[in-house]
Amino acid sequence: MIILGLNAYHGDSAACLVIDGIVVNAIEEERINRIKHWAGLPIESIKWCLSDAKINISDIDYIAVSRNPSAHLHKKILRALTKTPSLSFLKNRLSNVAKVSEIKSQIAESLNTDVSAIKAEVENVEHHLAHTGSSFLVSPYSEAACVTVDGFGDFVSVMRGIGKDNKIKILDWIEFPHSLGIFYTALTQYLGFWNYGDEYKVMGLSAYGRPVYLNEMKEIVKPKDNGLFELDTSFFLHDKEGVEMVWENGQPVIDKLFSDKLIEKFGKLRDKNEEITEHHQNIASSVQTVYEEIFFHILNDTYKKTKLENLTLAGGCIQNSLANGKITEKTLFKNIYIPPASYDAGTAIGAAMVVWNTKCHKPRRFVMEHSYLGPAFSKDEIENQISKHALEGKGHLTELIKDETILCQKAAKYIEEGKIIGWFQSRTEFGPRALGNRSILVDPRHKEMKDILNERIKRREWFRPFAPSILEEKVSEWFEQDSSVPFMEKVYKIKNEKQNLIPAVCHVDGTGRLHTVSYKSNQKFYNLINEFYKLTSIPMLLNTSFNDNEPIVNSPKDALGCFLSTKMDVLILGNFVIARDKKNV
Ligand SMILES: [Fe+2]
């Protein structure tokens, strides 16, 4: 059975293929069309998934879409009857719903084929069920409590259930207008960060402040006795006239979510170019603290009701790695699985897995242990791109090192000398994190590496931390934890005595968003870190995504473009080592 999974007409559009219950590939549209968080029909991703698996659209049995226009219909109708949304809001919603319903003909049109050639049935999977599927159905657990938390999807923002073998039993959910994601996004906007997906900036900033506005925040979002929560909607606009959201053929745009009451409470909102003050830091800290309180309130109640020690999580809010890192400390859950793409891109995989497990009645046979599901490029393709860029003419030196050990030794030496390395290997990661195949790597021992990276390549805000990738067996020596974090999805405290040894990856609160690297998950990256360890006794590298404010690079062409437009010292493309001409650094 071949299933094409899609997250379409929504932010972070993506496609994947599930063949006989196994996720064989997956990619986000932004990686191909180079527009961050792109929303629309992910047609380039569909084309790539089909060509990668060497199949045609006519071979597909089901198209699984992670939205269901008829889900929670009663609530949608009730809202239409009782509220008076703006005309443009309604027009936007209706056109979006129409597109989801006509997806088969849209795919046929984009592929320049007749719709009758697509024999696949379209299966609409409710958004939060797709989130749950993206986690539980690819987790190592046969039974687990399942929780999803996001902004909204199909009118729901939280869903809780129990996963057992192939089945997911839904326990309860929270409907519009109450949403922890909307709360966090509204306060993110208030703090001057208006781009889709900017919430992680507030998370990074929160470490600099104190939660002095906790009581005020608790007036906005309140826990309920049933283990869930509610918003005081007078602080928001989404429940009144509807907030303009654009989900078509470009970067998603979400208009202002908060009402003037929020400004009355916390003062003038921050302009995006305004300096960040202690007041802003304290608001960020208070937002993060109340988010965590509500999140653990939901999880503790879930444990009470399920008595299960395994927990699977998904949804946009589960990108909050700071809260994720505290789950075992704040709840009784012992084992936690979070997939590499817990946000909406991952629902492409979730929808496909829900359909396979519903239709097939066979035991689950896939655990997502790594995220390397995207395109890889051959030596010839890389060589071809290198020659197209005429690097020799620009004075850069290119060398092919076939022996992997020598390649890793050479790369480790460059890093130890303080150079910035672009590291491009094998298949692209699915999800927001570079996990050693599309990474920029530097020495974590020098505090100034953060500033050098920002000045020469990343241009990120000063308050955002950089993350370490560490050999898995060394975690307990460096962090106050001893668990594997394969997808950089949790923040942990770095041991006090080690913090000054790795200042470039130690955040102001002494934490790091770590990525544990095992030999099994990524042999070449493991070997590189190990070579650096032999040179320095430090078993980790600073690992940041290979991009400069664009989507993470996908192809050798993207990587060469980033190398040439920034001040990266060395680019390692497969086994080719390209060293920048010293005059150009
Ligand atoms: Fe979602």
- C-alpha of residue 5 to centroid of ligand 1, in Å: 15
State whether 193 and 46 are in the same domain: no
Residue whose C-alpha is closest to residue 317's, from 195, 197, 149: 149
Same structural domain for residues 284 and 410?
A: no
CA 548 to each of CA 388, 420, 440, 469, 563: distance values in angstroms, whole numbers, following the listed order: 22, 13, 10, 20, 10
What is the 198 CA–ligand 1 centroid distance (Å)?
Answer: 15
Q: What is the block-wise mean pLDDT of the chain (585 residues), using blocks of 10 residues?
A: 96 97 98 95 97 97 92 58 52 58 90 94 96 98 98 95 97 96 97 94 96 97 97 92 71 90 96 95 98 98 98 98 97 98 98 97 95 98 91 80 97 97 98 97 95 88 94 97 93 97 96 96 98 98 94 97 93 95 58
Q: How far is the CA of 397 from the centre of ligand 1 (A)?
A: 45
- pLDDT tens digits for 51-103? 999 999 999 999 999 998 876 655 555 555 555 555 555 555 555 655 666 89
Cβ atoms of 576 and 382 closer than 8 Å: yes
Question: Same structural domain for residues 423 and 309?
Answer: no
Query: Residue 478: which domain range?
Result: 379-584
CA of 126 relative to ligand 1 center, distance in Å: 10
User: What is the 516 CA–ligand 1 centroid distance (Å)?
Assistant: 26
Q: Which of 325, 360, 395 is the last residue of a domain?
A: 360
Domain count of the fold of the chain? 3
- Whether residue 389 sits in one domain with residue 516: yes
| CA torsion, ordered 36, 41, 43, 44, to nearest 10 deg | 0
CATH number for the domain that contains residue 401? 3.90.870.20
Mark whether 395 and 314 lie in a shared domain. Answer: no
State in Å: Cα 178 to ligand 1 middle: 14
Q: Is residue 384 part of a domain?
A: yes
Q: Are 318 and 422 part of one and the same domain?
A: no
Peptide bond connecting 177 to the previous residue in cis, omega within 30 degrees of 0: yes
> Which residue spans within 377-453 are E strands per DSSP?
397-400, 421-424, 438-442
Ligand 1 centre and the CA of 343: distance in Å? 6
Q: How far is the centre of ligand 1, averaged over its atoms, from the C-alpha of 450 (Å)?
A: 32
**Cα 315 to averaged position of ligand 1 atoms, centre (Å):** 5
Find the 161 Cα to ligand 1 centroid distance in Å.
Answer: 16
Q: How remote is the CA of residue 419 from the centroid of ligand 1, in Å?
A: 39
* Residue at 370 is within a domain: no
Instruction: Look up residue 272 and give its amino acid.
Output: K
Q: What's the CA-to-centroid distance between 67 and ligand 1, angstroms?
A: 10
Residues 235 and 264 in one domain: yes
Q: In the block, which residue shows the tokens 């020659």?
A: 387
Whole-number Å distance, alpha carbon 222 to ligand 1 midpoint, is 21
Q: Any residues with CB less than 8 A from the CB of 500 and at least 6 apart, and which?
A: 506
User: Ligand 1 centroid to 342 CA: how many Å?
Assistant: 9
Distance CA 188, CA 204 (A): 12
Do residues 514 and 571 share a domain?
Answer: yes
Q: Is 369 inside any structural domain?
A: no
What are the structure tokens assigned to 263, written together?
A: 């400004």
Cα 347 to ligand 1 centroid, rounded to whole Å: 8
CATH number of domain containing 321? 3.30.420.40
Which of 288, 310, 339 corresponds to the end of one domain?
A: 339
Work out the percent of the chain whose per-residue pLDDT is above 70: 92
Q: Kindly state whether residues 134 and 156 are assigned to the same domain.
A: no
- 103-110 and 43-52 helices, crossing angle to 10°: 70
Residue 374 lies in a domain: no
Nearest CA to 174 out of 196, 138, 192, 149 is that of: 149
Q: What is the pLDDT of residues 515-525, one digit of tens each?
A: 999 999 999 99
Other CB atoms closer than 10 Å to residue 375's CB: what's the count?
A: 18
Distance 19 CA to ligand 1 centre (A): 24
H-run or E-run covering 313 = strand 310-314
Nearest to 577, CA basis, from 427, 400, 376? 400
Q: How much of the chain exceeds pLDDT 90, in percent?
A: 84
What's the gap in Å between 355 CA and the centre of ligand 1?
18
Residues 260, 211 share a domain: yes
Q: In this structure, is residue 367 part of a structural domain?
A: no
**Distance between Cα 383 and ligand 1 center (Å):** 40
In a domain, 372, yes or no: no
Asked, for residue 256, whether it belongs to a domain, the answer is: yes
**Distance from residue 265's CA to the centre of ligand 1 (Å):** 29
Q: How far, in Å, from the CA of 247 to the mean position of ligand 1?
A: 13
Q: How far is the CA of 75 from the centre of ligand 1 (A)?
A: 18
Residue 368 lies in a domain: no
Distance 317 CA to ligand 1 centre (A): 9
Please tell me whether residues 205 and 297 are part of one structural domain. yes
Whole-prediction pTM = 0.94
335 and 350 inside one domain? no
